[in-house]
Amino acid sequence: MNPIPPPKRLLLLTTEIFANGGIQRFNQTMLAAYGGCHVTCRVLSLNDNPRSTVAAVSYPNITVSGFSGRRGPFSLGVLRALWGSRFDWVLVGHVNFLGPVVAALALKIFQRDKRIALFAHGIEVWTGIGLLRRLALSRTRKILCVSRYTRRRILDQAPRIPPERLVLFPNALSETWRSAARDEPAHSLPDRFILSVTRLERSDRYKGIVTVIEALGMLADDGMHYCVIGSGDDLPFLQQVAERCGVSHRVHFLADAKDADLISYYEKCAAFVLPSGGEGFGIVFLEAMYFGAPVIAAREKGALDVVRDQETGLLVRFGDSIALKEAIERLGADLELRERLRVAGRATVTGRGPFTYTRFAERCAEVFELGEVQTA
């Protein structure tokens, strides 16, 4: 009988895990996948609180250290980990960390086979890949791109990188949604409403919330409401837009909701609408599809990998409030279309669909040669 090989050793350097947001959910799903693999995984997280990490991690083969946003101690912790231990893979969760990691490992002369992988999510790599970053990327064994658009933007800026190093590595629906308990939302729901779930920051106006408010104001159906779940410093501006469009009484800005509350919104909305012009992927589309909400997105960037027009959702031109109005009305009038989109969308996040946790875990195991993964 062949002896069991020792577990692969992974070091993951990331910005944050235990908070709301697409990248955070990606990181949570990734930890779950590693938790089911024959590995030991050490995680250093810049922005997570040390106490929260201890309570949140339930995998015996994974340890997480949080640094509460303190860059100095985080950088020192990274150096100690890189120079004090050997890892089969160093997994870099943000391009800003890549240069220092490559430089630190270059000084570690006794480890010749330095396997570095970068997770490329979206806007952080779409621009700004200058000489130093191109040099760091050239020393990176794998660049895992969550969408075709992200892969193309990296190659546009760094054309000398061998294309085979850039691997499509799409996001997935978190497994936690399958066991999430439903709860009655804290706010009463309108009879009919469309839904967005997103940050409301000035820097995130590309999410298209203004376009949705303008479309709502043009609907012939003045009984349709709009629920926006999220928070941020752009809320006063968005409230002014709703007032200007004469729909402030039909636009409901709600604070961040618990997952149990979100389920009710996803299940009961007439459509999930996020016509964003800058999604690296768009994990909220997967959440909406899982709970049966027909999806409307913008025909832009990473969303094109998630929402297939006329098949798993409807796509409109970014910033086109008239086209968005027509898409909302079309879903309301065509019940057969709604059901077809709902069924096809859910199929992508259940069973053997491309965006299921099972497929994500299998991709993790395949890319990093980790053997079989336990997904049950």
Percentage, residues of the chain above pLDDT 90: 80
Residues 89 and 229 in one domain: no
Q: What is the pLDDT of residues 144-180, one digit of tens each?
A: 999 999 999 999 999 999 999 999 999 999 877 877 7
pLDDT for 58 equals 82
Q: What is the pLDDT of residues 226-252, one digit of tens each?
A: 999 999 999 999 999 999 999 999 999
Residues 198 and 280 in one domain: yes
Residues 110 and 183 in one domain: no
Beta bridge partners of 10: 41, 89
pLDDT for 249 equals 96
- Average pLDDT for residues 18-36, to the nearest whole number? 89
- Whether residue 2 is contained in a domain is answered as no
- Whether residue 376 is contained in a domain is answered as no
Residues 147 and 241 in one domain: no
Residues 15 and 158 in one domain: yes
Residues 150 and 230 in one domain: no
- Average pLDDT for residues 64-82, to the nearest whole number? 96
Residues 167 and 232 in one domain: no
Q: How confident is the model at residue 4 (pLDDT cuts 50, 70, 90)?
A: confident
Write the CATH number for 206: 3.40.50.2000
Residues 24 and 137 in one domain: yes
- Whether residue 373 is contained in a domain is answered as no
Q: How far is CA 293 from CA 26, 238, 340, in A?
A: 21, 24, 11
Residues 22 and 103 in one domain: yes
- Whether residue 375 is contained in a domain is answered as no
Q: Quote the CA–CA distance of 56 and 35 in Å, as a whole number.
A: 13
Residues 103 and 189 in one domain: no
Q: How confident is the model at residue 41 (pLDDT cuts 50, 70, 90)?
A: very high
Total domains in the fold of the chain: 2
Mean pLDDT across the chain: 92
Domain carrying residue 122:
8-172+356-367
Residues 15 and 150 in one domain: yes
- Whether residue 218 is contained in a domain is answered as yes
DSSP-assigned letters across all residues of 133-163? HHHHHHT-SEEEESSHHHHHHHHHH-TTS-G
Q: What is the pLDDT of residues 269-321, one digit of tens each?
A: 999 999 999 999 999 999 999 999 999 999 999 999 999 999 999 999 999 99
- Whether residue 65 is contained in a domain is answered as yes
Residues 126 and 247 in one domain: no
- Whether residue 224 is contained in a domain is answered as yes
Q: Is the pLDDT of residue 3 over 70?
A: no
Q: What is the pLDDT of residues 331-349, one digit of tens each?
A: 999 999 999 999 999 999 9
Q: Report the side by side order of strands in the sheet with 62-66.
A: 62-66, 39-45, 8-14, 89-92, 116-120, 142-145, 166-168
Contacts of 103 (CB under 8 A, 6+ apart): none
Q: Is the pLDDT of residue 371 over 80?
A: no
Q: What is the pLDDT of residues 88-140, one digit of tens each?
A: 999 999 999 999 999 999 887 665 567 999 999 999 999 999 999 999 999 99
